[in-house]
Amino acid sequence: MRRHALTAAALAGALALAGCGGSGDGKPELAVGASYMPQPVSAEMAAGFLTITNDSGTKDELTSVTSDAAGQVTLHETAGGAMREVSSFPVPAHGRLVFKSGGNHLMFENLKHQPKQGDTITLRLKFAESGTVTVEMPVKSATYNPSTDPMTDPSAGHSTGHSTGH
């Protein structure tokens, strides 16, 4: 009997502790910001950039991206000056996944029509834990760069990197 009483008390304590955890179900809390697409130089493909912030203690993973504006959206990373397609990107706990010119980027392929400055592209980010997050991505000028880094030329990098395929 004494053993049963102890077990019940320990169980009650564990439940109370879980209830105090803050974000309840333990899901990642993602916020997407700073999204933009530089107006592409061709109707073939375009690059997109954004930042995903995870304010929770649970890591997540970006597994795919889709958009009505493109037949396909692929995930690319840049390593050693060359870009390559990857199947997913991790979103670390209490961290950020950053897409920026010269680094990670989204590639919009088989565009339905050439995006123009002032347009808005709707895309859906799919995460392993958080499900689908919809983003409205504004199309900026071809030379737009939020970091204002004069050494970065997104259009030049893409025309060379993608002409040979992956």
Virtual CA dihedral for 61, 95, 138, 109, nearest 10 degrees?
Answer: -30
| Dist. CA 21–CA 15, nearest whole Å | 10
Count of residues near Cu ion by CB under 5 A:
3
Annotate each residue in 9-48 with x if it binds Cu ion (CB under 5 A) or - if it does not, as one string: ----------------------------------------
Residue ranges in 76-95 that form contacts with Cu ion under rule CB under 5 A: 76, 83
List the one residue from 107, 121, 125, 135 that touches Cu ion (CB under 5 A).
Answer: 107
| Dist. CA 49–CA 89, nearest whole Å | 14
Nearest approach, Cβ of residue 110 and Cu ion (Å): 14
Q: Which residues lie closer than 8 Å to 62 by C-beta, 6 or more apart?
A: 52, 75, 88, 89, 90, 91, 97, 125, 126, 127
Q: Which stretch binds Cu ion (CB under 5 A): 36-44, 72-80, 130-138, 149-157?
A: 72-80
Pull the structure tokens for residue 33: 């910001």
Q: Which stretch binds Cu ion (CB under 5 A): 28-36, 105-113, 122-130, 134-142?
A: 105-113
Q: Which residues lie closer than 8 Å to 163 by C-beta, 6 or more apart?
A: none
Tell me which residue of 61, 55, 128 sits closest to 94, measured CA to CA: 55
> Counting contacts by CB under 5 A, is residue 135 touching Cu ion?
no
Q: Which stretch binds Cu ion (CB under 5 A): 14-22, 93-101, 104-112, 122-130?
A: 104-112
Between 97 and 107, whose beta carbon lies closer to Cu ion? 107
Please give the residue ranges that form the binding site for Cu ion (CB under 5 A). Answer: 76, 83, 107
